[in-house]
C-alpha cells in the first residue's frame, strides 16, 4: 500500500479507488479509458503528465512530486444544459478542500485563485453527451501544492502560486487528496440530487464586481461582472447593456473597491 491509498474511499461515488502513475500522458485520458472499461469513480493520480492539458487547448505544467494532478471518471444522468454545474461543483470542492490551508476563491469559470488573484489550480471537465443528457464525465484537477514560485516557468510565475507558498509550509498531498475526494463526492451527490451549486459558486466567485476583459474565442468583452445567471453564464454589464457569456477566458481583471 502506498501513502496515496490512504485517500481511498471504497464506498464513495468519487474516489472509490486510487490508481497512481509515475508518468502518463494525461490522467483525463486514462480516466476516459476506465469509463470505457466500466470502471467509474476511480481517482487516477499522476506524478508526471507528458501531455497534461488545460482548458482552451493549453498545456498543464506540473513538476514531479510537488503537486496534485488527478482525474476521476463518473457516470452521470444530468441534463446537458446543467453540465456547467459539474465544473462549478468541482471548483467548489477543490476550494473547500484547501480552505484549511489557504483562503481561496473561484475565478470564473472555474480557476481556483488566491486572494491576490494568483492561480492555484484549475479544473478540466470532459463530458460524453447522448442527446440532451450527460452520460459520463471526466473531472480533471490540477492543483499547485508544493511548487515554489521561484521554480515556476516565467510564463506561469507572474499569475500563479501554490498552497505551500500561501501557507508558508509544505502541505501533505495525501491528506489533501483525501479531503479533495471527500469534498468532490459530497458535491457530485448533491448535484445529482438536484441541489444546484449556484448560490455557493456565486459566494465564492471573486470575479463578481470586478472590471474584466473576457476573450470569448471570437471577440473581447469589456465591462463589469455583475452576476452569474441560473445557467452558470457570467453576466457582464458594459455601457448600459448586459451580456451573458456562457464560456470564455478572463484576460484582464481589476477588482473595484468602494471609495
Ligand atoms: C485549466 O486550464 O485551468 C484546467 C487544468 C486542468 C489540469 C488537469 S491536471 C489533471 C488532468 N489531466 C489533464 O490532462 N488535465 C487535467
Q: What is the full DSSP assignment across 90-158?
A: HHHHHHHHHTTT--EEEETTTEEEETT--EEEEEEEEEEEETTEEEEEEEEEEE-SS--GGGS-HHHHT
Atom 16 (ligand 1): residue with closest C-alpha?
A: 140
Considering Cα of 93, then 96, then 98, then 104, what sign does the dihedral take? Answer: positive
Pairing between β-strand 42-49 and β-strand 111-114 as defined by DSSP bridges: unpaired
Atom 7 (ligand 1): residue with closest C-alpha?
A: 142
Residues in contact with ligand 1 by the CB-under-6-Å rule are 26-28, 49, 52-55, 58, 60, 69-71, 111, 122-124, 140-142
Nearest to 70 by CA among 102, 29, 38, 33: 29
Nearest to 16 by CA among 46, 48, 36, 44: 44
Residues in CB range of 165: below 8 A, 6 or more apart? 147, 148, 149
Give the distance (Å) from ligand 1 centre to CA of residue 5: 22
Atom 9 (ligand 1): residue with closest C-alpha?
A: 142
Which pLDDT does position 259 carry in this prediction?
Answer: 55
Per-residue pLDDT in tens (0 to 9) along the chain, 259 residues: 677 888 777 888 898 999 999 999 999 999 999 999 999 999 999 999 999 999 999 999 999 999 999 999 999 999 999 999 999 999 999 999 999 999 999 999 999 999 999 999 999 999 999 999 999 999 999 999 999 999 999 999 999 999 999 999 999 999 999 999 999 999 999 999 999 999 999 999 999 999 999 999 999 999 999 999 999 999 999 989 999 999 999 999 998 866 5
Measured between alpha carbons, how far is 119 from 117 in angstroms, rounded to an integer?
6
Amino acid at each position: 500500500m502506498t501513502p496515496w491509498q490512504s485517500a481511498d474511499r471504497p464506498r464513495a461515488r468519487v474516489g472509490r479507488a486510487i490508481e497512481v502513475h509515475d508518468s502518463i500522458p494525461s490522467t483525463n485520458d486514462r480516466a476516459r479509458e476506465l469509463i470505457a472499461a466500466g470502471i467509474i469513480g476511480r481517482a487516477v493520480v499522476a506524478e508526471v503528465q507528458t501531455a497534461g492539458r488545460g482548458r482552451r487547448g493549453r498545456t498543464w505544467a506540473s513538476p514531479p512530486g510537488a503537486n496534485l494532478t488527478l482525474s476521476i471518471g463518473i457516470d452521470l444522468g444530468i441534463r446537458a444544459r446543467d453540465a456547467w454545474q459539474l465544473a462549478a461543483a468541482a471548483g467548489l470542492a477543490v476550494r473547500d478542500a484547501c480552505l484549511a490551508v489557504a483562503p481561496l476563491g473561484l475565478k470564473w469559470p472555474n480557476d481556483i485563485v488566491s486572494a491576490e488573484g494568483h492561480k492555484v489550480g484549475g479544473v478540466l471537465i470532459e463530458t460524453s453527451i447522448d442527446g440532451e443528457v450527460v452520460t459520463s464525465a471526466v473531472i480533471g484537477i490540477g492543483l499547485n501544492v508544493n511548487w515554489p514560485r521561484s521554480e515556476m516557468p516565467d510564463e506561469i510565475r507572474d499569475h500563479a502560486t501554490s498552497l505551500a507558498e500561501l501557507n508558508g509550509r509544505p502541505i501533505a498531498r495525501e491528506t489533501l487528496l483525501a479531503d479533495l475526494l471527500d469534498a468532490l463526492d459530497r458535491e457530485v451527490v448533491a448535484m445529482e440530487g438536484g441541489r444546484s451549486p449556484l448560490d455557493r459558486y456565486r459566494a465564492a466567485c471573486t470575479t463578481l464586481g470586478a472590471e474584466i476583459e473576457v476573450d470569448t474565442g471570437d471577440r473581447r468583452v469589456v465591462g463589469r461582472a455583475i452576476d452569474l445567471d441560473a445557467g452558470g453564464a457570467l453576466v457582464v454589464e458594459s455601457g448600459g447593456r448586459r451580456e451573458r457569456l456562457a464560456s470564455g477566458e478572463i484576460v484582464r481583471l481589476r477588482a473595484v473597491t468602494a471609495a
